[in-house]
Amino acid sequence: MKILVTGGRGYVGTRLADALKKKGHSVKTLGIEKDSDFVADITDFGKISKAVKGFDAIIHLAALIGVKESREQPTRYFMTNSIGTLNMLEAARMNGIKKMVFASSLTVYGEPEHLPVDENHPLKPLSPYGYSKVVAEDFCRAYSELYGMTIVIARLANLYGPGQSGDLFMPTVLSQLKKEKITIRSLDFKLDYMYIDDVVSALTACLEYGKSDVFNFSAGRSVSGKEIIDALSKIVGRTLVVETTNPKKEKEITLDIRKAKKILDWEPKIGIEEGLRKSIGHNICENELIT
């Protein structure tokens, strides 16, 4: 299959493209990175409509992902995440591409009304980022219903893994493991995390599914900030000292992944401790990480 991965040189896209190539697919990437096969912003319809020609399927990962930043730049987020997705859908329709996988987010649910959160939970996001994903999902459903496209929406939990960067809890903590004290905003949360390899297998399962649908993907259980720190302390062999700058309690969220297990025969393989070990490397010497 000839597959175009948008955001294909990003953290998830790079690993997904490699995995798909190993399965025998022909894969090209589209994104703003200079090493993409097609260098284009998804808000530029003229460029992407030319780039998508000749592909059998699109996996659409390209997006802005900062929840905090989205509150400061809502227009930019809606233009990229919502209108950019509409552009990809229309470019696919114009070029006869009938298959798309769209990477959405657990942020579409907002504050949970019940746990675990299944796919029928009301969508009440708390940020422009979450709303931009809801709008993009609506565009996906519209194109599926109006034009007969097969579009699978993957609502992904918080992801982590080796080499991840950004202003997120996991990379913030992991980048400070060699320091005497770790400084983070808060430990007072319980969130659903998913290791990068499980994200890749989830998106691959969506690609191989033959109907339009929406699925949750996660580790299937939430972990607290304290559990993560305790697990890392065990791995590195010393008690990690943590200072919090904004100890604000957040609501727990756990995604219900029974639908993906039943219909896609998918399930996460990497638990939190194994995932953390893989993220920092196995070689520990004199309480320092060998990277």
CA atoms within 13 A of residue 148's CA, in its CB half-sphere: 2
Tokens 């530029």, residue located:
44
**Could you confirm whether 129 is annotated as catalytic?**
yes
In this structure, the dihedral spanned by the alpha carbons of residues 199, 141, 10 and 15, taken in order and rounded to 10 degrees, is 40
127: amino acid identity, one letter: S
Question: How far apart are the C-alpha atoms of 288 and 291, rounded to whole Å?
Answer: 9
Query: Is 113 strand, coil or helix?
Result: coil
Token pair in block for residue 170: 């996991």
Residue 123, φ and ψ in degrees, nearest 5: -95, 105
Phi, psi at residue 206, to the nearest 5°? -65, -40
Residues 6+ apart with CB under 8 A from 195: 159, 160, 161, 219, 268, 269, 270, 274, 275, 278, 279
Distance CA 203, CA 61 (A): 10
Q: Which of 129, 131, 160, 193 is catalytic?
A: 129
How far apart, in whole angstroms, are the C-alpha atoms of residue 258 and residue 119?
10
Q: Known catalytic residues?
A: 129
